[in-house]
Chains A and B, each alone.
Chain A
Amino acid sequence: KQEVTQIPAALSVPEGENLVLNCSFTDSAIYNLQWFRQDPGKGLTSLLLIQSSQREQTSGRLNASLDKSSGRSTLYIAASQPGDSATYLCAVNTGNQFYFGTGTSLTVIP
C-alpha cells in the first residue's frame, strides 16, 4: 500500500524567507503528484500538479519537483509571506485514489 510522508510536520519562518517542504512516497508507480494548500476549516486548494513524466512545475513563487524513482517531491516557496500560512498537503495518484500525507503546517511570521 502506498504510504506518503511529509516532513517537517510544522514549520515557522520569518517573512521573506525561502523554504522547502518535503514529501516522500513508498511506491513509484504513480500517475501524478499534486500539492494542495488547506486553510483552517476549509477544503483543499490545488497548487501544482506534476505528471509522472515531468520533473518540475512552477506557479508564481511556487516550484514543485518530482523524483519518481526515489519517491520524493519538494515544494519550494520563494519569498514567503504571512498569507502563505496554511497546511500544505501532497497527494500521489495511483489511478484509483490519491494517497495523502498528513501535511506540513506552515506559519510565516510578519
Chain B
Amino acid sequence: GAGVSQTPSNKVTEKGKYVELRCDPISGHTALYWYRQSLGQGPEFLIYFQGTGAADDSGLPNDRFFAVRPEGSVSTLKIQRTERGDSAVYLCASSPRVTGELFFGEGSRLTVL
C-alpha cells in the first residue's frame, strides 16, 4: 500500500481480555516501530524492529505486551490481560532505514472498559 496501515482503527475490550493490533508498513521499509500515545502527550516508544528481529524492546511496559514481525513486514502487537491503564492510541511507524524518515499510520485506539 501507499502508506502505513493499522487495524483495527478502534478496539473496545473488557478488562482482562486479549488484544491484537496489526501494522502493515510501507513496502520495503525494514525498520518498524510501535509507539503508544495518551491524550495530550507525545508518543511513547514501545519497540523497534529491524527486519524480523526486535532490535530494542526496552519500551514495553511489562510482560503482558509482546510484538512480532515474523516475515519482516507485517507486525502484530499483542496485549494480554488488558488493564484500563492500557487505554491509549497505539501508533505504528516504518522507515526505509535507521537514519531514514519516519512514516506513521493513523493508529489503533484501544479502550479497555
- Chain A interface, >50% SS class: strand
Does A97 contact B99, Cβ atoms closer than 8 Å? no
How many interface residues does A have (CB within 8 Å)? Answer: 24
Segment of B12-20, B40-48, B70-78, B79-87 in the binding face: B40-48
Q: Is A49's beta carbon under 8 Å from chain B?
A: yes
Q: Is A85's beta carbon under 8 Å from chain B?
A: no
Point out residues on B near A: beta carbons under 8 Å: 4, 33, 35, 40-45, 48, 55-56, 59, 91, 93, 98-99, 101-107
A-B contact pairs, 9 of them (CB 8 A): A31-B99, A34-B102, A45-B104, A46-B101, A91-B102, A93-B99, A98-B45, A99-B45, A100-B44
Point out residues on A near B: beta carbons under 8 Å: 4, 31-32, 34, 36, 42-46, 49, 51, 89, 91, 93, 95-103
